[in-house]
Structure 1
């Protein structure tokens, strides 16, 4: 840069010298050759200086661009890095929702399958355990009695379903016994908690309509069980007016 400045100063000195010459004539050949040489030297020096400056500027610009490009990857700019983290979070949230929905669907299907289970099905013990737990957890005598009667109605439906499918005597006999046990427990508790409760008569009438069609499909001990149960609940039905 100093060399270029000195060259420019010499050129200005030559121009000043030229301004002092008469207007009608031109410079002598010696001065002309010296001026041409000085101008050529100054031009080459200026070109090299300009090239050097342009090279340094290009390197500085490239370094800044590289810094800006690398900055989001290093996590120093939250504004640019945020979308990169937001997408995995959305995916994890969506996966969590799908998993929760899947678990809820499985639980719903399991509950339906358990509710529809009949004696002999793999889920039937779970169904009976659930009913027994609901009865034991009832602190109110009326509620507990009503749940016992609901269990008796459920056993009656199961007997009807067994007779329509397999008709296996062992399962039918056991279900009939459980039906009678739930009926007696519920009626006894309800009579003690609510004497002359109309719920007993309504239950007995419903059960009679369920059990009567079963009599002709049963034989042996199961037939006797159903007949004895039918006599018992008929005594609970209020006389018609």
Structure 2
């Protein structure tokens, strides 16, 4: 088994070497011969019968992958997807934005720890606030701004409600409220109509979360 593994590793090394070659020209004959020899060696070792199982009897059916392993794989995929989407810095109205939101929501739903889930909801609220600020700095389109403000408030209330249930006096609540206040307050003068009313109502809500000084 170790010999077969070493052969496969050498094959991978050769393939890596091939991938690093410039496009337009094939590998030299010596390289092709080395690769062909390694592939043949690895295949022969894989097909050779194992001494311990020269006469395979009744084989047990393969067990299905445990549910926990499946969930772990799904979580890893979602985390990778969220990382990929975040590199695009998509905002409402962008083509990739629905994919970003879907990955973000899935990551929250997969979280079983209440504290972590609440924190991720609050992170989503902060992200929505940054998106509103960016929209106002670009075009200030009413429908997108209003919808993003609404989603910001929904994530905030969901996160705060959950966090207050599991950690009623958590300092994270006050820190979040202060941070959001500093983010949303400068937006008021750039908003008008329903969007301004939304932002003012949101500020009233989070100001009640800041613990009194002294």
Distance 1:144 1:109 in 2: 18
- How far does the alpha carbon of each residue in 1:20-51 deviate from its partner, in whole angstroms, 9 at most, with x for none? xxxxxxxxxxxxxxxxxxxxxxxxxxxxxxxx
- How far does the alpha carbon of each residue in 1:132-171 deviate from its partner, in whole angstroms, 9 at most, with x for none? 0111011000000000000000000000000000100000
Is residue 148 of structure 2 the alignment partner of residue 225 of structure 1? no
Highest Rg: 1 or 2? 1
Q: CA deviation at 1:94?
A: 2.1
Unpaired runs of 5+ residues, structure 2, are 1-10, 22-80
Cα contact 1:113–1:123 (8 A) shared by 2: no
Greater relative contact order (Cα 8 A, min sep 6): structure 1 or 2? Answer: 2
Q: CA deviation at 1:93?
A: 3.2
Q: Which residue of 2 aligns with 1:60?
A: none
Calculate the aligned-residue CA RMSD, in Å: 2.3
Q: Which residue of 2 aligns with 1:160?
A: 133
Distance 2:163 2:82 in 1: 32
Cα distance 1:97–1:110, how it changes in 2: closer, same or farther (>3 A)?
A: farther
Q: CA deviation at 1:92?
A: 3.6
TM-score w.r.t. the length of structure 1 is 0.56
Q: CA deviation at 1:240?
A: 1.3
Distance 1:226 1:89 in 2: 56
Cα distance 1:110–1:194, how it changes in 2: closer, same or farther (>3 A)?
A: closer
Structure that is richer in helix per residue:
1
Q: CA deviation at 1:95?
A: 3.4
TM-score w.r.t. the length of structure 2 is 0.63
Q: In structure 2, the residue corresponding to 1:229 is in which secondary structure?
A: helix
Q: CA deviation at 1:200?
A: 0.4
